[in-house]
Amino acid sequence: MTGRAGSELEALIGEVALVRLAEAFGGTRLYIPEKMSAAHEIAKAIGLEAAQAMVRQLGAGQLKVPLAREQRARQYRAAGWSNARIARALMITESGVEKLFRRVAERDDRQGRLFG
C-alpha cells in the first residue's frame, strides 16, 4: 500500500496513526484480524480506536504498510527536527530529505494554482 492507497489509509486513521504504524511496521505486511483488542500489536502502536477503524473499513486480511516517509518527515519537521535527524529516521540522505520537501512544496504550489 503506497501512494494513493497510503493516502486512503491516512484518511481512514489520520496522519498521526499512519506515522505510528509506519514507524512500527513500515515496509512489512501485517495481518489485520477480524476483531481488534487493545492487546494486539497494531492497537498498541496506533491506538485501539484507529486499529478498530482499520478492521471496520478494511476487514480481516493482509495490509502492506507504507513507509509514509512524506508524512513522517512533515511530523518530524513540525517537531523541530533537523534534516540530518530526519534523514537518519527515514534512512535516507540529507539530500533526499531536501528533495522530499522541495517535491512537496512544488506539488502544493501546483495544486494552489489549480484551485486558487
Residue 2 has what pLDDT? 44
Please give the tally of structural domains in the chain: 2
Residue 115 has what pLDDT? 66
Asked if residue 75 and residue 47 are part of one domain, the reply reads no
Tell me what the mean pLDDT of segment 2-26 comes to.
Answer: 89
Tell me what the mean pLDDT of segment 20-46 comes to.
Answer: 97
Asked if residue 59 and residue 13 are part of one domain, the reply reads yes
Q: Is the pLDDT of residue 70 over 60?
A: yes
More confident residue, 4 or 32: 32
Q: Show the domain range for 80.
A: 69-115
Class of residue 19 by CB neighbours under 10 A (exposed 0-12, middle 13-18, buried 19+):
buried
**How far is residue 88's CA from residue 64's CA, in Å, rounded to a whole number?**
23
Asked if residue 56 and residue 22 are part of one domain, the reply reads yes
Asked if residue 21 and residue 59 are part of one domain, the reply reads yes
Asked if residue 89 and residue 42 are part of one domain, the reply reads no
Q: Is the pLDDT of residue 1 over 60?
A: no
Asked if residue 73 and residue 107 are part of one domain, the reply reads yes
